[in-house]
Amino acid sequence: NADGEGALYAELGRLARGESIEIIESSVPAPNPNATMGATDNLDRMDSITAEMVAIAAELGESEELDVGAKQIMSGWDAWEPEPVETEAAASRGRRRTVGDIIGLLVGIYGSKELFINEYRTMLAQKLLTKANYDTEREMHTLELLKLRFGEMSLHNCEVMLKDFADSKRANANIKTAAGASASDKDRQASEILTQSPVEATIVSSLFWPAFSSEVADF
């Protein structure tokens, strides 16, 4: 074994670890807004999701965002050997893996399922808190796929985070709803100020979100 101590694997894992979660997220196919769920579709739901996850794996394997080190890891880290001199067709054998293999390898890079999910949760929090709108369809789609791989309980925190975001959208919309005609002049004036205000709040369940850095605002 040319890499008996795993030094090459450890180094490439360090290089790939920082962006692997982002690659998974960006590689998930966007949900089809025109799709409908009929009565017989439920019977084939698992098959269709499996096919979609295999498509995710294919995109991950061919993504141009992956550097050379990450591609080497994902094409056979557990049986590494010097690259043989082969034809292009032979060299490309086995590069396409199921999404379970791909995510399994990335879990191996992070060291455990818990570390992988925690990194995903941190990335999800950053995405939600920097969003310019409340559209979370893609994030919900990705979460549902990951729940199939890791189980619902493992991703419960992420589910609560997305619910917090949806609840915040609803709360902000209610706050900015114009006062009715029967409201007093004072209430209508306050309602107008809130309606025109660009300020919005995101209400989070702190026990389920990653820890935020402490910042003191200067007023």
Query: In terms of DSSP H, where are the helices of 28-112?
Result: 45-62, 68-74, 88-91, 99-110
Assess contact for 164 and 205: CB atoms under 8 A.
yes
pTM, two decimal places: 0.55
Mean pLDDT on 170-183: 72
Give 45 or 179, the one with higher predicted confidence. 179
- Asked whether residue 196 carries a pLDDT value surpassing 60, the answer given is yes
**Which token pair is 135?**
């559209």
pLDDT tens digits, 8-34: 555 556 555 556 556 555 555 555 555
Mean pLDDT on 153-168: 94
